[in-house]
Amino acid sequence: MEQQSAFYLSVRSDNIGVIVIDVPNEKMNTLKAAFIPQIREVINQARQHPTLAGLVFISGKPDSFIAGADISMIDACRSADDARKLAEQGQHIMAEIAALPVPVVAAIHGPCLGGGLELALACDRRVCTLDEKTRLGLPEVQLGLLPGSGGTQRLPRLIGASQALNLILTGKALRAKQALKMGLVDEAVPHAILLDVAVKLALKGKRERRPLPLRERLLNGPAGRAVLFRLAARQSEAKTHGNYPATRRILEAVRTGLEQGIRAGHEAEALAFGELTMTPQSAALRQLFFASTALKKEYEAESAPLQRIGVLGGGLMGGGIAAVTAAKAGLPVRIKDIRVEGINHAMKYSWDLLSKKVKRRQLTAAGRQRQMALITGSTDYRGFAQRELVIEAVFEDLSLKQQMVAEVEQHCAPHTIFASNTSSLPIAQIAARAQRPENIIGLHYFSPVDKMPLVEVIPHQGTSASTIATTVALAKRQGKTAIVVADRPGFYVNRILAPYINEAMRCLLEGEPIETIDDALVRFGFPVGPVQLLDEVGIDVGTKILPILEQEYGERFAAPAAFAAVLKDDRKGRKNGRGFYRYDGGSKKRQPDKSLYSLLHIQPQHRLDGALIAQRCMMMMLNEAARCLDEGIVRSPRDGDIGAVFGIGFPPFLGGPYRYMDRLGAANVVNTLANLMHQYGDRFAPCEALRQRAERGENFYNSLTETNTHNDSAA
């Protein structure tokens, strides 16, 4: 049976050919190598039309232009040469589009990313919709790659090297108005007239290349270019610390094309694409992509419909939860607090977040009003009778949370789910007095709720399957990545985080300066260091869970004794302006609070090598992660890797704790822990699960491509 084409051509009465892109049986359009003959076929059909005046590429999908290349196609490459040839195929087909004798216009609605934008760049003109779904970008760097179908060559020529490098090195996606201002698109219009405007642009004929803005022209000269690339390299190194080789290759490919011509640029691009595809960093990032995509598809069938949400508590967490429920999920949310001030605080939280979007022109004032209208509040349970799910975000007090369960069961419907945002209390204890324990579940958000992408969903033994699925569905609608974890103290993320931070504190008590500890872990690949992280989370919050973990798991979770002095000195971190760092003055650069050294009776001196500091902290985390999998705290290595990367910023290029241990080898991890144990104490003793893996020569994943079972796109 002949494969149905994803590209088909029709010619209008005005002699404009319309090529519709519609990948069969897929929600989104993605580019695959198998489509190259199909694209060539429609291009040849167009060439043979005697009176053709122009071409328009448009999507047949309701909400997607082209979301990128199929990542599984890239993942299937077995050598750098395979991947290089794949890039060359893409370059050739884009060159054929660019060489067409008639004007070609890309009519863009929805995501136009990676290979999709490269196709649009091969066209003479581009028009996009003003719709919120429309995004344009080259996100390949986020997979440890660079654009491989001419993107590093055409984008700098269209908008200038400075603007192009900013887009390619960050992978960020632009909204319609941003793309228009930058010169990436020629027009941005309402969706209803997209095709009409594209046809008018095609009828204007071929267009000479537009002159670049003055700033870009200055940077395009030899002297300006040298300054630009030197500055870009320095800024890139400061952000990546050499952990992402793709950034260096992007700079090389762009510069080669500008200095030696587009042909040499294409060769450099394809060569770099091939070699980067084979790097462990890109492999890890691609597997994270497959894992998070697979996770999004779980529990879809079992969830109950959600129409109205309740939130108990108008504090920082309650306000954040209400904000993402309204803004991201688009669901009406009712906040209950014992004080009117609490409700007002939560409402202001949402107003401030939305106002920032209005200021950045990401949202209109009318849009802000529409989203705010979804949030209401009360000091009693009026309006809660028909809430399908109520999220409790009150103080970490067991009796108070049990009281909240009783009140929700009294005032809400029998099917209402009660989800507790707790970071330390067992869900089984919260549900202990419940009339309907099957409706009780944990839903652990991370602060700040609007920024942190992960939630932990924690069923207790009696939680129903429907409750789990419906809670996961809400988290997804809120824009979160959800992992289901076991109901044990610390759950997963805080449990692996606590030993990591504790070890950083021990380095500090040995006299290592605050900034060198943080710098060591940032250079290793974390977005912030462990000391700064503790300040951001709140020293009081961060240490509250340690006694619970110590009681459950033993003295490896015990906080260093001297650390009590920090809490006694009323240091809570950023939230009260007193922590390990100073938060006074207008300086953007955070300064360590040196008065802390005298408080802890230490003389700061940089003695430890940064690599050793990172190793000590990391090995404590890896050892605990191995225990978590062995004890069933996480369902799989995949969930554990996603939880660590999305929850605490574990370096994405390492793929997560389990992929990183597979890369190191269990035997090497055990030997490193044993050496640290002899030097620093029994807390580094390798756990039994790790020892057994090392003896058997087993990995955590059965194979390095275990999670690659989905055809999805991002590049």
Do both 520 and 666 map to the same domain?
Answer: yes
Q: 715 lies in a domain?
A: no
Question: In this structure, what token pair is assigned to residue 560?
Answer: 């260093």
Q: 285 lies in a domain?
A: no
CATH number for the domain harbouring residue 604: 1.10.1040.50
pLDDT band at 709 (very low <50, low <70, confident <90, very high): very low
Q: 294 lies in a domain?
A: no
pLDDT attached to residue 213: 80
Q: Judge contact between 442 and 456, C-beta under 8 A.
A: yes
Last residue of a domain, one of 433, 466, 484: 484
Per-residue pLDDT at 22 exceeds 90: yes
CATH number for the domain harbouring residue 163: 3.90.226.10
DSSP 377-424: EESSSTT-TT-SEEEE---S-HHHHHHHHHHHHHHS-TT-EEEE--SS
Q: Which phi and psi (to 5°) does residue 375 adopt?
A: -105, 125
Per-residue pLDDT at 3 exceeds 80: no
Which pLDDT tens digit goes with each residue over 511-556?
999 999 999 999 999 999 999 999 988 888 777 788 889 999 988 8
Instruction: Please indicate whether residue 456 is annotated as part of the active site.
Output: yes
CA distance to 175, 312, 361, 365, 378, per residue, from 368 (Å): 18, 23, 11, 5, 21
Do both 133 and 250 map to the same domain?
Answer: yes
- Is the torsion defined by CA of 345, 350, 356, 358 positive or negative? negative
pLDDT attached to residue 588: 55
pTM: 0.91
pLDDT band at 221 (very low <50, low <70, confident <90, very high): confident
Q: Judge contact between 644 and 493, C-beta under 8 A.
A: yes
Last residue of a domain, one of 466, 484, 502: 484
Last residue of a domain, one of 467, 484, 501: 484
pLDDT attached to residue 665: 95
Q: 298 lies in a domain?
A: no
DSSP 11-38: E-TTSEEEEEE--TT-SS--B-GGGHHH
| Dist CA 414 CA 434 (whole Å) | 12
Average pLDDT over residues 147-160: 96
Do both 80 and 49 map to the same domain?
Answer: yes
Do both 479 and 378 map to the same domain?
Answer: yes
CATH number for the domain harbouring residue 404: 3.40.50.720
Question: In this structure, what token pair is assigned to residue 458?
Answer: 């924690």
CA-closest candidate to residue 312, choices 301, 321, 302: 321
Q: 170 lies in a domain?
A: yes
CA distance to 58, 63, 71, 299, 354, per residue, from 27 (Å): 15, 9, 16, 19, 30
Q: 166 lies in a domain?
A: yes
Do both 345 and 451 map to the same domain?
Answer: yes
Over pLDDT 70: what percentage of the chain? 97
Do both 169 and 87 map to the same domain?
Answer: yes
Domain that holds residue 263: 7-278
pLDDT attached to residue 586: 52
Do both 433 and 555 map to the same domain?
Answer: no
Do both 239 and 271 map to the same domain?
Answer: yes
Do both 204 and 68 map to the same domain?
Answer: yes
Do both 501 and 436 map to the same domain?
Answer: no
Q: How many structural domains comprise the chain?
A: 3
Average pLDDT over residues 415-443: 95
The mean pLDDT of the chain is 92
Do both 555 and 624 map to the same domain?
Answer: yes
CA-closest candidate to residue 640, choices 623, 625, 620, 662: 625
Do both 618 and 665 map to the same domain?
Answer: yes
Exposure letters 359-383 (e unless 16+ CB within 10 A, then b): eeeebeeeebeebeebbebeeebeb
Over pLDDT 90: what percentage of the chain? 81
Looking at 30-34, 184-188, 408-412, which range is the least confident one?
30-34
| Dist CA 406 CA 704 (whole Å) | 48
Q: 292 lies in a domain?
A: no
Q: Which of 392, 456, 512, 515 is catalytic?
A: 456
Average pLDDT over residues 449-463: 95
Per-residue pLDDT at 659 exceeds 70: yes
Q: 442 lies in a domain?
A: yes
